[in-house]
């Protein structure tokens, strides 16, 4: 456990430092939510906000994973492929995406009609990078399919929560915290290090997100989900991995029918967690 804890602390520190450095470099000389900036979008309040938090997370977590101690080469490559690939595809959707089709079902339905949306490109691309990453850490075709679906599904699911300040990061921390604890208790230092890096990077960017100065966007949320999904498949046995995949599929399917924002707002405990650190909902 001591080695796992050391790797986890080192990974979290590297992830946090690299993400902050990347965010500072990317936003230097830019005004907050500059209307002329291609990375500027309007948030849920209609206020301008930068999406550069996402590329900062991708770059920071990638740099940390490249040099974090305790990761075998195949795991390191899998993490760089999962995080970098999903982040790049998310950035493509951030910059060139349209709203003509929405949701997993909407993009796939458009694809059956011969319409290739940016969302469909992202879904198929993240599926491919998820399978590629899974192939590097799996044993056999069945494990590769299960693990690849988990990585890709987690990437998509994380993005579904990125609708309010800090929400996607909070969900990532709440999901990754128990995974990190389990890795430490079961003495799995590789999984501990792999989990700690994205958690450290996300936590370091949380103040920008909660302060409504920046948001993860598709780039950051997809990468965060993919990396946590990869950490889960490397740290859990088959029953645990199947449980994670089932949860991801169930929540993704539910998102096609119900609004997570409405569900959270209607639950006192979830709403308090969601509002923690944020401006009041009524503020302008």
pLDDT at 284 over 50: no
pLDDT band at 216 (very low <50, low <70, confident <90, very high): very high
Question: What does the DSSP assignment read for 180-242?
Answer: HHHHHHTT-HHHHHHHHHHHHHHHHHHHHHHTTSB--HHHHHHHHHHHHHHHHHHHS-HHHHH
What is residue 109's predicted lDDT score, i.e. its pLDDT? 62
User: Could you tell me the pLDDT band of residue 206, with boundaries at 50, 70 and 90?
Assistant: very high
E strand intervals along 3-152:
40-42, 48-50
Query: Left if phi > 0, otherwise alpha if psi is -120 to 50, otherwise beta: which for 114?
Result: left
What are the tens digits of pLDDT across the range 240-268? 999 999 999 999 999 988 999 999 999 99
pLDDT, one tens digit per residue, over 8-65 is 999 999 999 999 999 999 998 776 666 667 888 888 888 889 999 999 999 999 999 9
pLDDT per residue as tens digits for the range 82-124: 999 999 999 998 888 765 556 555 556 655 655 557 677 788 8
**Long-range CB pairs of 261-267, under 8 A, 24+ apart, other chains included:** 261/163, 261/164, 264/167
- Residues 45 and 25: their CA atoms lie apart, in Å, by 27
- DSSP code string of 8-51: HHHHHHHHHHHHHHHHHHHHTT--TT-TTSTTEEE-TTS-EEE-
The arithmetic mean of pLDDT across residues 58-84, rounded, is 96
Q: Residue 260: phi, psi to the nearest 5?
A: -60, -35
Q: How confident is the model at residue 283 (pLDDT cuts 50, 70, 90)?
A: very low
Q: What is the mean pLDDT of residues 163-176?
A: 95
Chain centroid offset of residue 212 CA: 18
Helices 73-96, 141-160: crossing angle, 10 deg rounding: 40
Contacting residues for 158 by C-beta, under 8 A, at least 6 apart: 168, 171, 172, 221, 222, 224, 225, 226, 228
Task: Give bridge partners of residue 41 from the DSSP assignment.
Answer: 49
Res 146 pLDDT > 60: yes
* Proportion of the chain above pLDDT 90, given as a percent: 71
Average pLDDT value over all residues in the chain: 89
Of 3-7, 20-24, 128-132, 207-211, the least confident: 3-7
- Estimate to the nearest angstrom the gap between the alpha carbon of 246 and the chain centroid: 18
Distances (CA, A) of 263 to 38, 207, 247, 258, 271: 32, 24, 17, 8, 9
pLDDT value of residue 121: 79
pTM (predicted TM-score): 0.91
Q: Of 132, 141, 138, which is closest to residue 83 (Cα–Cα)?
A: 132
pLDDT of 66 > 60? The answer is: yes
């Amino acid at each position: 456990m001591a080695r796992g804890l050391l790797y986890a602390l080192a990974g979290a520190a590297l992830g946090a430092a690299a993400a902050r450095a990347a965010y500072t470099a990317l936003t230097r000389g830019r005004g907050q939510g500059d209307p002329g900036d291609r990375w500027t979008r309007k948030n849920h309040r209609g206020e301008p906000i930068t999406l550069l938090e996402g590329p900062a997370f991708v770059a920071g977590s990638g740099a940390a994973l490249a040099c974090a101690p305790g990761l075998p080469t195949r795991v390191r490559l899998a993490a760089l492929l999962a995080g970098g690939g999903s982040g790049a595809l998310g950035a493509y959707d951030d910059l060139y995406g349209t709203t003509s089709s929405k949701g997993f079902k909407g993009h796939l339905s458009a694809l059956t009609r011969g319409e290739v949306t940016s969302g469909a490109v992202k879904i198929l691309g993240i599926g491919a990078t998820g399978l590629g990453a899974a192939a590097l850490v799996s044993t056999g075709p069945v494990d590769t399919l299960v693990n690849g679906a988990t990585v890709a599904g987690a990437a998509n699911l994380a993005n579904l929560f990125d609708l309010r300040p800090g929400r996607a990061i909070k969900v990532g921390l709440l999901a990754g915290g128990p995974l990190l604890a389990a890795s430490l208790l079961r003495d799995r230092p590789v999984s501990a290090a792999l989990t700690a890096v994205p958690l450290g990077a996300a936590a370091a960017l949380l103040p920008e997100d909660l302060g409504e100065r920046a948001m993860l966007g598709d780039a950051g949320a997809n990468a965060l989900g993919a990396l946590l999904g990869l950490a889960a498949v490397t740290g859990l046995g088959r029953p645990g991995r199947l449980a994670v995949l089932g949860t991801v599929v169930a929540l993704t399917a539910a998102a096609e029918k119900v609004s997570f924002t409405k569900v959270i707002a209607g639950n006192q405990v979830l709403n308090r967690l969601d509002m923690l650190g944020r401006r009041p909902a009524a503020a302008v």
